[in-house]
């Protein structure tokens, strides 16, 4: 079934696109949620202006994200966490901790932009990728330090 999208839907299409979807997906989700309508000639014309405006908004948002990438790429986030004498954390450093630290530094980063394969559970320096858009990535250095102040041992690990 062909439908005309009324909103941007990730992995499906943008506002104003005519896409082919399964009948059940259209009838049970897209149409009742008013995310799509049937692609009549009148509907296509009415969404044409909205599609142009949305394309301009996407271009502006992409430019803003490129500026954020340029600013945050290579930044350093220092996160303090409780750890034992061997440098193992009692908990872990998650995406929200890293994003929160970067926000405190003035960067516009949300929790879902931080890409961790698994939570950080060791004291030391770690490289973390940020995914700001489908094809925009930045790399930040995350330094995890022990809250009890054993920074000397951490400095030795970083220099090695």
For 90-100, the pLDDT digits (tens) are 999 999 999 99
Contact residues for 78 (Cβ-Cβ < 8 A; gap 6+): 101, 142, 143, 145
Residue 159 scores a pLDDT above 60: no
Q: What is the model's pLDDT at position 45?
A: 84
Query: What domains lie within the chain, and their CATH numbers?
Result: 2-64 (3.40.5.10), 73-159 (3.10.430.100)
**Radius of gyration in angstroms for the set of CA atoms belonging to the chain, rounded to a whole number:** 22
Mean pLDDT of 36-50: 86
Convert the pLDDT of each residue in 57-106 to its tens digit: 889 988 988 888 888 898 999 999 999 989 899 999 999 999 999 999 99
Per-residue pLDDT, 149: 58
**Residue with more model confidence, 55 or 156:** 55
Alpha carbons 120 and 117: distance in angstroms, whole number: 9
CA dist 158 and 137 (Å) reads: 24
Two tokens, residue 135:
């094809």
Q: What is the pTM of this model?
A: 0.64
């Amino acid at each position: 079934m062909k439908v005309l999208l009324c909103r941007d839907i990730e992995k499906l299409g943008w506002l104003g696109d005519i896409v082919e979807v399964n009948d059940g997906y259209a009838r049970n989700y897209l149409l009742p949620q008013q995310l799509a309508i049937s692609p009549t000639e009148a509907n296509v014309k009415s969404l044409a202006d909205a599609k142009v405006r949305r394309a301009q908004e996407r271009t502006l948002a992409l430019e803003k994200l490129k500026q954020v990438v340029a600013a945050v790429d290579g930044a350093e986030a220092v996160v303090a966490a409780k750890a034992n004498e061997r440098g193992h954390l009692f908990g872990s450093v998650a995406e929200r901790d890293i994003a929160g630290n970067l926000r405190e530094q003035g960067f516009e980063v949300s929790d879902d932009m931080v890409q961790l394969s698994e939570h950080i559970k060791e004291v030391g320096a770690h490289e973390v990728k940020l995914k700001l858009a489908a094809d925009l990535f930045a790399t930040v250095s995350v330094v995890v330090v022990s809250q009890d102040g054993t920074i000397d041992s951490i400095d030795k690990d970083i220099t090695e």
